[in-house]
């Protein structure tokens, strides 16, 4: 009898300009938790952040190390929404994020799949704040 195959996304690398500014933004403006910050030597760190209550995927904040990587900061997907922050209470999180200075690109809207609004992080990466309909 074969066992069921199980996989999941563990980390998504997000290219950043500076570890400390990225940690400050994601923990203060977005309210994420700092999961790990380990020195690796040579100006490299292993930095993981995650939304509160998240038990699966984490963001790996990866400091750009080359000119090519620097050019991709804030534009890892060519201007498309890159990440989707799911919430159990859209209005609560939207209000809190606005109060903390998060830049929303549009007003919230209701779609067949849920309530959504696009925001940009400190580098210009586009995200959806999304409460799915059940």
16-58 confidence digits (pLDDT tens): 999 999 999 999 999 999 999 999 998 999 999 999 988 889 9
pLDDT of residue 111: 96
CB burial class (10 A; 0-12, 13-18, 19+) of residue 4?
exposed
pLDDT of residue 55: 82
What secondary structure letter does DSSP report for 2?
A: P
CA distance 56 to 53: 9
CA distance 129 to 132: 10
Asked whether the beta carbons of 10 and 58 are under 8 A apart, the reply is yes
CB burial class (10 A; 0-12, 13-18, 19+) of residue 47?
buried
pLDDT over threshold 80, residue 61: yes
Contact partners, residue 42, CB within 8 Å, separation at least 6:
none
CA distance 75 to 98: 22
């Amino acid at each position: 009898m074969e066992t069921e195959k199980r996989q999941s996304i563990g980390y998504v690398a997000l290219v950043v300009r500076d570890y400390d500014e990225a940690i400050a933004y994601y923990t203060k403006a977005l309210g994420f938790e700092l999961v790990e910050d380990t020195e690796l030597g040579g100006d490299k760190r292993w930095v993981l952040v995650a939304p509160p209550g998240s038990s699966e995927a984490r963001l790996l904040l990866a400091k750009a190390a080359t000119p090519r990587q620097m050019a991709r900061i804030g534009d890892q997907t060519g201007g498309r929404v890159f990440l989707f922050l799911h919430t159990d209470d859209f209005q609560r999180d939207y209000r809190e994020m606005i109060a903390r200075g998060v830049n929303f690109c549009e007003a919230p809207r209701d779609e067949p799949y849920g309530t959504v609004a696009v925001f940009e992080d400190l580098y210009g990466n586009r995200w959806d704040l999304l409460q799915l309909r059940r």
